[in-house]
């Protein structure tokens, strides 16, 4: 592995690819929806879209055009904590990709117009409709975050933002956002390829070296939590859903801490895989929950504030939301009585398998390296991550569960289907499919 | 100041890895060694899928695929056993194949394969487990179909085919209920336990004894040919036409424009896939550029072929803001018509040609992807160098090839436009778009 820092602050990580003739490039910028201020929710993500709309020397859509012509893969994503841009291409195209990325980093502001802003705003609003508003349970995450973090907290709102805030985005703000957050000093660039690390470094220096660092780094909004959750807190909604859905959440420690790893194991014991407790108990034995293949629990990782342990199940026909919720909470509570070595071993194996799967291709490996470097300052962690679970004991998991998976720390979002004679607001009463 | 744009150098030449083939007993192994790839992908391919099911046991393959997860001990015991070895079970039923497999770290391959072989050849198939899985599948149908795009895709079969394809692969919300534990046992005995199949293995295989793996997986099962096929007839009804599947309150409409296509073996792949890519296979394709990047009606639009052993489907799909539904359909159909009338541009030709030739190292950069290509080769009985031959086909592609393919393979006049959305809001605007007669149905009425 090669690790370098350019004079302008850009951090570069290089790792050899395990199959030939391919180069994966991944840029993690340290900006996400946690940097958004009230009235500007959804902006970091809308901005990510605008990064494909042209810069000083690149026209609208050209990033996609170039990479698709190469049979490559290209996309980007935004979370609370970062925004990443990535391409996997045949190795001979590495220079062109580096140039494209460097161009939008240094000259995006020159390519930005009101027309592309308006177009991408419409696209993002349709993304919101497709993923949130037109999906059963689609607003669950938004509701969970609203309960989990207080008003004004930078994790109170989802990355997609609100329709009203998206409408308010203007061109000046786009340009200032780029200036404030997009600098080489706020970027980790990862390159997976068959090339010599020094060769990669020379190319990266050539394209990114001349780009100046930001004049100053903005302060991120305060993400500390002054008070415990004060649970159980609850949001109940009746709408057109095919079955009752229960989403339970608990605050746990930030990503990168040992307590996070402990609770990651707890979530696997509870709800990852068909050997997990919730699957055995509520899908197979009783069975009152819909078969999700063993995917009922996981952590929602946040680096700069408490993460969330989330548990989600849907009810079977004829099972009420109340019955399912009671059974889930009972099963969660039982964890505090202790877990077996066998359960812990299975949980470790499941998490290790998922980790290996995620880094088994060049794109996933590059993303994991960018994450470890940007969030935790150490790319080597990617290759040793499963060791973090090795010395965590069953008692350590039990004791963390006893402290954290309690009603005081619980939020519940409940979806219940409309029944006849009880229409939800605004929607005409009709038989729901 | 930014640097000047670099020239793209010449790509290195690429060949798909040549698989090693060995025969063990009644079965065949197709293996590719990828040194350094510690996660092995193993797939067992049986070439009978949903299309071969009898009409009184529709969904038996999908249900059996689920019940295998109950393992030799029954009661959902397989997955936990594999999970302890860090292995992940997969099973996938398609119209043409029944595929099972595991992804597992190479250090634990032998243990995982032993469990895998028992799971496929000697499952318990307890009646209780079968009934539990069947009831779950039946309920899951509507859970999944609560998503507009899923409902739209599942509505297609009955619009384009009679016979087995008119009912969704997993048996739909009604007919699956007729599949008994005895039918599952019969299907398993006839199509899985007694049929050796072909084993695909990809990963770092240094130190792996393929012969022993084959013995473990095939046992004394025998080879069996793929089933005979006959092209199913279309259902009655005028074409083109519009079917609105009512989803009250929908803020977006899910659209699928679909028509019949020739079968996998009849289709000239580079020409057909090439023209689909121009219309909707890529981000920069015409449908996405028009509906997303120009009009802002959608988060994305695309098209593809769904080709089977005996027949095929071509479809374009998107989800659009409800009030733009009618204009989205006419705009999409205009794109079909324009491509048929004027053909592709030189730029598009070049894009299709390049993306399917120089991009192969990207397409096959994981064990899973290489295994996927080999499974395709096995299911459709293609030569081992199929990937390279296909690439050569793209290298030869001309503008005339794509222009004639647009006329041959895009048939908007024979299309059914399926719209899942709010019927009350859509009926009026959709009645005058010139895409044929309009019918409104409730989702429940589609499958009986």
* A225 near B CB under 8 A: no
CA distance A90 to A48: 24
* pLDDT attached to residue A432: 32
* pLDDT attached to residue B109: 94
* A91 near B CB under 8 A: yes
Closest CA to A76 of A146, A6, A127, A40: A127
Long-range contacts of B381-388 (CB under 8 A, 24+ apart): B381/B226, B384/B18, B384/B19, B384/B21, B384/B30, B385/B16, B385/B18, B386/B16, B387/B16, B387/B360, B388/B15, B388/B16
* A123 near B CB under 8 A: yes
* A257 near B CB under 8 A: no
* Inter-chain touch B105–A314, beta carbons under 8 Å: no
Whether the pLDDT of residue A428 is over 80: the answer is no
Give residue A18's pLDDT band: very low, low, confident or very high (50, 70, 90): confident
* pLDDT attached to residue B365: 87
* Inter-chain touch B142–A102, beta carbons under 8 Å: no
User: Which of A102, A122, A356 has the CB atom closest to B105's CB atom?
Assistant: A356
Whether the pLDDT of residue A122 is over 90: the answer is yes
Q: Which segments within A11-126 are labelled E, that is strand?
A: 11-16, 22-29, 73-78, 83-90
CA distance A112 to A23: 29
* pLDDT attached to residue B230: 87
Sign of the CA dihedral running B263, B267, B269, B270 = negative
Q: Which residues of A touch B37 (CB under 8 A)?
A: 18-19, 360
* Inter-chain touch A99–B359, beta carbons under 8 Å: no
Closest CA to A395 of A347, A348, A333, A341: A341
* Contact by Cβ (8 Å): A47, A171: no
* Contact by Cβ (8 Å): B230, B393: no
- HEC string of A291-358 equals CCCCECEEEECCCCCCEEEEEEEEECCCCCHHHHHHHHHHHHHHHHHCCCHHHHHHHHHHHHHHHHHH
Give the closest-approach CA distance of B206 to chain A in angstroms. Answer: 15
* Inter-chain touch B84–A95, beta carbons under 8 Å: no
Query: What are the Cα distances from residue B81, in Å, to A265, A305, B89, B129?
Result: 18, 36, 10, 17
Give residue A426's pLDDT band: very low, low, confident or very high (50, 70, 90): very low
Is-above-0.90 flag for pTM? yes
Closest CA to B392 of B360, B347, B368, B366: B360
Whether the pLDDT of residue A429 is over 70: the answer is no
Task: Give per-residue pLDDT as tens, A300-352.
Answer: 999 999 999 999 999 999 999 999 999 999 999 999 999 999 999 999 999 99
Report the percentage of chain B scoring pLDDT > 90.
90
Query: What are the Cα distances from residue B50, in Å, to A99, B34, B122, B266, B269?
Result: 48, 32, 21, 20, 23
Task: Give per-residue pLDDT as tens, B309-346.
Answer: 999 999 999 999 999 999 999 999 999 999 999 999 99
* A422 near B CB under 8 A: no
Phi/psi for A52 (5° steps) reads -105, 10
* Contact by Cβ (8 Å): B309, B380: yes
Q: Which residues of B touch A361 (CB under 8 A)?
A: 365-366, 368-369
CA distance A425 to A423: 6
Least reliable range by pLDDT among A234-248, B39-53, B77-91, B204-218: B77-91
* pLDDT attached to residue B2: 67
Give residue A59's pLDDT band: very low, low, confident or very high (50, 70, 90): very high
Residues 346-405, chain A: which have Cβ within 8 Å of B? Answer: 346, 349-350, 352-353, 356-357, 360-363
CA distance B120 to B71: 8
Give the closest-approach CA distance of A95 to chain B in angstroms. Answer: 7
Contacts of A304 (CB under 8 A, 6+ apart): A34, A81, A220, A223, A254
Neighbours of B313 (CB within 10 A): 19
Least reliable range by pLDDT among A341-350, B202-211, B224-233: B224-233
Query: What are the Cα distances from residue B338, in Å, to B282, B292, B319, B330, B333?
Result: 18, 18, 22, 12, 9
* pLDDT attached to residue A420: 64
- β-strands A233-239, A245-252: how paired? unpaired
**A36-46 average pLDDT score:** 92
User: Which of B83, B103, B369 has the CB atom closest to A273's CB atom?
Assistant: B83
Query: What are the Cα distances from residue A308, in Å, to A153, A303, B271?
Result: 15, 11, 49
* A295 near B CB under 8 A: no
Phi/psi for A21 (5° steps) reads 65, 25
Residues 267-286, chain A: which have Cβ within 8 Å of B? Answer: 273-275, 279-280, 283-284
* Inter-chain touch A133–B11, beta carbons under 8 Å: no
* Contact by Cβ (8 Å): A222, A46: no
The two tokens of residue A262 are 């402990």
DSSP state letter for A75: E
* Contact by Cβ (8 Å): B154, B311: no
Average pLDDT over chain B, rounded to an integer: 95
CA distance A262 to A252: 10
Q: Look up the ipTM and state it.
A: 0.89
* Inter-chain touch A360–B37, beta carbons under 8 Å: yes
Query: What are the Cα distances from residue B402, in Å, to A344, B209, B343?
Result: 57, 46, 7
Give residue A427's pLDDT band: very low, low, confident or very high (50, 70, 90): very low
Cis peptide before B149 (omega within 30 of 0): no
Report the percentage of chain B scoring pLDDT > 70.
100
Element (H, E) at B257: strand B252-261
The two tokens of residue A314 are 């849907």
Q: Which residues of B touch A93 (CB under 8 A)?
A: 8, 11
**A153-160 average pLDDT score:** 95
Query: What are the Cα distances from residue A51, in Å, to A129, A187, A266, A287?
Result: 22, 15, 39, 48
Query: What are the Cα distances from residue A280, in Å, to B63, B92, B102, B132, B247?
Result: 19, 23, 21, 13, 34
Chain A residue with the nearest C-alpha to that of B81 = A275
Report the percentage of chain A scoring pLDDT > 70.
97
* pLDDT attached to residue B66: 95
* pLDDT attached to residue A425: 40
Contacts of B171 (CB under 8 A, 6+ apart): B58, B59, B60, B62, B63, B137, B179
* Inter-chain touch A71–B10, beta carbons under 8 Å: no
Size of interface A-B (CB pairs under 8 A): 246
CA distance A206 to A183: 16
Q: How far is CA B281 from the centre of its chain?
A: 15
CA distance A7 to A209: 7
**A405-416 average pLDDT score:** 98
* Inter-chain touch B5–A346, beta carbons under 8 Å: no
Give residue B386's pLDDT band: very low, low, confident or very high (50, 70, 90): very high
* A312 near B CB under 8 A: no
* Inter-chain touch B2–A103, beta carbons under 8 Å: yes
Q: Which residues of A touch B147 (CB under 8 A)?
A: 135-136
* pLDDT attached to residue B335: 98
* pLDDT attached to residue B388: 97
| Most confident among A10-14, A426-430, B102-106 (mean pLDDT) | A10-14
Q: Which residues of B touch A96 (CB under 8 A)?
A: 5-6, 8
* Contact by Cβ (8 Å): B391, A385: no
Query: What are the Cα distances from residue B113, in Å, to A85, B32, B81, B102, B119?
Result: 38, 17, 12, 8, 10
């Amino acid at each position: 592995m090669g690790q370098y820092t350019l004079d302008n602050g850009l951090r570069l990580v290089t790792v050899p690819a395990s199959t030939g003739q391919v180069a994966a490039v991944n840029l993690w910028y340290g900006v996400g929806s946690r940097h958004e201020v009230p009235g500007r929710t959804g902006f970091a993500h809308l901005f990510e879209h605008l990064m494909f709309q042209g810069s000083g020397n690149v026209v609208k859509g050209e990033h996609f055009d170039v990479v698709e012509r190469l049979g490559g893969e290209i996309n980007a994503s935004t979370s609370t904590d970062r925004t990443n841009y990535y391409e996997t291409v045949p190795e001979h195209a590495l220079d062109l990709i580096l140039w494209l990325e460097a161009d939008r980093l240094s000259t995006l502001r020159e390519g930005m117009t009101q027309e592309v802003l308006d177009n991408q705003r419409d696209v993002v609003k349709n993304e919101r409709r497709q993923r949130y508003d037109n999906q059963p349970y689609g607003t669950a995450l938004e509701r969970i975050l609203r309960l989990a973090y207080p008003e004004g907290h930078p994790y109170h709102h989802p990355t997609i933002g609100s329709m009203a805030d998206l409408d308010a985005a203007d061109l000046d703000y786009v340009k200032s956002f780029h200036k404030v957050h997009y600098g080489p000093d706020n970027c980790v660039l990862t390159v997976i390829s068959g090339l010599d690390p020094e060769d990669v470094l020379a190319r990266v220096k050539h394209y990114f070296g001349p780009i100046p660092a930001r004049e100053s780094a903005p302060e991120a909004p305060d993400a500390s939590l002054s008070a415990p959750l004060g649970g159980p807190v609850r949001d109940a909604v009746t709408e057109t859903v095919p079955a009752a859905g229960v989403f339970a959440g608990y605050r746990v420690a930030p990503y990168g801490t040992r307590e996070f790893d402990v609770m990651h194991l707890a979530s696997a014991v509870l709800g990852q895989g068909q050997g997990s407790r919730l699957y055995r108990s509520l899908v197979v034995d009783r069975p009152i929950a819909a078969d999700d293949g063993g995917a009922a629990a996981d952590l929602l990782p946040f680096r700069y504030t408490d993460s969330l342990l989330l548990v989600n199940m849907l009810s079977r026909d004829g099972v009420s939301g109340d019955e399912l919720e009671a059974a889930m909470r009972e099963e969660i509570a039982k964890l505090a009585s202790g877990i077996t070595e066998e359960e812990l071993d299975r949980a470790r194996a499941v998490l290790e398998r998922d980790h290996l799967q995620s880094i088994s291709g060049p794109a996933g490996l590059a993303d994991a390296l960018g994450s470890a470097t940007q969030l935790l300052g150490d790319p080597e962690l990617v290759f040793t991550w499963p060791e973090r679970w090795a010395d965590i004991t069953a008692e350590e998991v039990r004791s963390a569960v006893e402290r954290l998976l309690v009603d005081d720390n619980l939020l519940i979002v409940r979806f219940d289907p409309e029944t006849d004679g009880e229409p939800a607001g605004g929607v005409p009463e009709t038989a729901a499919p | 100041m930014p640097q000047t744009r670099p020239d793209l150098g010449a790509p290195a030449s690429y060949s798909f890895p040549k698989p090693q083939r060995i025969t063990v007993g009644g079965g065949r192994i197709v293996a590719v060694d990828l040194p350094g790839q510690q996660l092995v992908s193993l797939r067992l391919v049986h070439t009978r899928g949903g299309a071969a099911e009898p009409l009184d046991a529709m969904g038996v393959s999908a249900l059996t695929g689920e019940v295998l997860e109950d393992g030799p001990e029954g009661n959902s015991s397989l997955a936990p056993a594999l999970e302890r070895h860090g292995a992940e079970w997969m099973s996938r039923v398609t119209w043409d194949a029944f595929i099972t497999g595991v992804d597992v770290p190479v250090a634990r391959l032998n243990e995982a394969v032993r469990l895998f072989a028992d799971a496929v050849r000697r499952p318990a198939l307890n009646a209780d487990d079968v009934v539990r899985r069947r009831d779950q599948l039946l309920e899951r149908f509507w859970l999944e179909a609560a998503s507009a795009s899923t409902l739209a895709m599942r509505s297609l079969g009955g619009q384009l085919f009679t016979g087995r394809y008119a009912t969704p692969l997993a048996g739909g919300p009604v007919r699956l209920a007729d599949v008994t534990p005895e039918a599952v046992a019969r299907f398993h005995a006839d199509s899985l336990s007694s049929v050796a199949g072909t084993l695909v293995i990809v990963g770092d295989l240094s130190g792996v004894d393929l012969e022993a793996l084959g013995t473990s997986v095939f046992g004394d099962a025998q080879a069996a040919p793929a089933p005979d096929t006959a092209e199913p007839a279309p259902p009655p009804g005028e074409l083109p036409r519009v079917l609105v599947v009512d989803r009250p309150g929908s803020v977006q409409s899910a659209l699928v424009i679909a028509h019949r296509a020739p079968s996998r073996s009849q289709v000239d792949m580079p020409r057909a896939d090439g023209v689909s890519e121009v219309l909707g296979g890529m981000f920069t394709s015409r449908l996405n550029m028009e509906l997303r990047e120009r009009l802002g009606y959608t988060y994305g639009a695309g098209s593809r072929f769904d080709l089977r052993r005996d027949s095929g489907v071509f479809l374009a799909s998107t989800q659009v803001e409800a009030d733009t539904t009618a204009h989205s359909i006419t705009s999409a159909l205009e794109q079909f018509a324009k491509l048929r009338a004027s053909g592709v541009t030189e730029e598009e030709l070049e894009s299709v040609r390049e993306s399917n030739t120089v991009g192969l190292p990207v397409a096959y950069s994981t064990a899973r992807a290489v295994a996927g290509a080999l499974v395709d080769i096995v299911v459709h009985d293609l030569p081992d160098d199929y990937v390279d031959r296909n690439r050569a086909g793209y290298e030869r592609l001309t503008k005339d090839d794509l222009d004639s393919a647009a006329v041959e393979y895009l048939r908007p006049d024979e299309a059914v436009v399926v719209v899942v959305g709010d019927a009350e809001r859509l009926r009026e605007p959709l009645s005058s778009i010139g895409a044929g007669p309009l019918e409104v149905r409730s989702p429940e009425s589609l499958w009986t």
